[in-house]
Amino acid sequence: MLTHERQLWTDGYERVAGLDEAGRGCLAGPVVAAAVILPPQVEVEAIRDSKSISEEKRLDARRKIEERAVAAAIARCSPSEIDDLNILRAALKAMRRAASDCRPPPDFVLVDGTQWDRDLVAAPWPHETIVKGDAKSQSIAAASILAKTERDALMRRLHDEHPEYGWASNVGYPTQQHYDALREHGATPYHRQSFTLFRD
């Protein structure tokens, strides 16, 4: 999980930030991104890809990340921004915001995925994209955990406003309950109007 970071530290980069996002495939809510810079040569055993661990372990890992991180930041793009930009560009914008909010700032960023290659050329930091990076880079996995836990908590708060959509359990992802509620109640301001919200 530290192979990429160790190479960058050896090359002289001290503040390597991992970037990841949560919520790209949701029907409702923002896309949330996080940036995490961990100290060189520090391995946090609890950090794993956020999708591969239980919610309890994610929350425990988040506490450890926040205790150890040199810097960490979370940012989001709203449903209206997603509709204006499209989801891929909105996710990228949220990641840029998170990286920009890090104090101290990163001097290199590692990003999960391949689809960002073209757009990241315009980013102000040297960067590298890693396929399935949340399973291969500790920094990206840490960002994945922060983004996922932050977004899940937000959607559960929004559930209190609109309990009929089941956001306490589906956190905005497409489920049968979510589609049934959309058909019965229509869309809320938190729904992404550019997504397919209604199924035949």
Per residue in 59-93, pLDDT (tens digit) is: 999 999 999 999 999 999 999 999 999 999 999 99
- Least confident span in 2-6, 119-123, 174-178: 119-123
Strand ranges in 4-52 using DSSP code E only, listed in sequence order? 16-22, 31-37
Q: What average pLDDT does range 177-189 have in this prediction? A: 96
Tell me which H or E stretch contains 199: none
Q: pTM for the whole thing?
A: 0.92
170: left (phi over 0), alpha (psi -120 to 50) or beta: alpha
CA dist., res. 167 & res. 47, Å (int): 26
Treating both helix axes as pointing N-terminal to C-terminal, what angle do 3-10 and 138-159 enclose, rounded to 10 degrees? 120
> Selecting from 3.40.50.450, 1.20.120.420, 3.30.420.10, 3.40.50.300, what CATH number does the domain 3-185 have?
3.30.420.10
